Amino acid sequence: MADTVGGPEAQFRAFLKQGRFMIQRSRSTGKHVYYPRVAVPGSGETDLDWVEAAGTGTVYATTVNRTRDGNTNLAIIELDEGPRMMSRVEGVPAETVKIGQRVRARIAVEDAAEIILFEAIVTQPGAGA
């Protein structure tokens, strides 16, 4: 019988609704998984637990949608846990987002649904790397 809470996607969205950015981790291998799945891609372990994502990551690839309504960033973020995800980096002009830049997640609501966006982590001068 199927889990009454729903599949991994529904569970992920339920966490987001509670303000929690959760990803999966395989108990046996320690491997993190995003997007949420029923098994670890490639190896198939089904011992997936939900763990709180650190919420920090690095810009892996970036582009800017330039339209009449303005410029919007679109990026692929590599989470510190390893998996990558599509998102948007905000808080800085879209065209200034750079690959390698450190970013931090926040949960926003768009089109009546929770969504994970990222903001640039600005290093304080003299605070080191």
Stretch in the footprint of other proteins (CB under 8 A) among 17-25, 50-58, 80-88, 119-127: 80-88
Beta bridge partners of 85: 77
Burial class (CB in 10 A: 0-12, 13-18, 19+), 122: exposed
Give 39 or 74: the residue with its C-beta nearer to other proteins. Answer: 74
Identified binder of other proteins from the candidate list 22, 62, 101, 103, rule CB under 8 A: 62
Residue 16 binds other proteins (CB under 8 A):
no
When asked if residue 110 is in the footprint of other proteins (CB under 8 A), the reply is yes
- Would you count residue 38 as binding other proteins (CB under 8 A)? no
Minimum Å distance from CB 60 to other proteins?
Answer: 7
Contacts of 121 (CB under 8 A, 6+ apart): 56, 101, 102, 103, 104
**Radius of gyration over every alpha carbon of the chain, rounded to an integer in angstroms:** 16
Reading the block at residue 68, the tokens are 């009449």
109 binds other proteins (CB under 8 A): no
